[in-house]
Amino acid sequence: MQIEVIFRNLTPSDPLKNYALKRFQKVERMVDDEEAKLLATLSMESGRPRVDIQLTGKDVDFVASEKNDDMYAAIDLVNDRLGQQLRKASERRSQISRETIGDSLGDA
């Protein structure tokens, strides 16, 4: 999975970029698609830090956004939000496959 961090209306800093990359590597373990791409945009909006992330791939397409007074906290919050979306989607897929297996066993 590719992870790209973009700074908008904000001076780029290596510690902030490294922190974001480290936090988003958790998402990498949750996504099976090796060709997936995570685009993180760190910006200042009305004087408040904002983090927008977009995860796209073959079977995934998720978007999350978060504002906070601290950029590091915003990164953590948006990472948690994306993790929740991925877990929920995974649960839905497993529920569908269980129902499909149950239906096919019931027909036999």
pLDDT for the residue numbered 91: 85
Structure tokens at 7: 């700074």
pLDDT for the residue numbered 93: 76
Residue 10 phi, psi (nearest 5): -155, 140
Digitized pLDDT (tens) for each residue of the chain, 108 residues in all:
899 999 999 999 999 999 999 999 888 888 877 889 999 999 999 899 999 999 998 878 999 999 999 999 999 999 999 999 988 988 887 777 666 666 666 654
pTM of the model: 0.82
pLDDT for the residue numbered 107: 54
Single-letter amino acid code for the residue at 25? Q
pLDDT for the residue numbered 104: 61
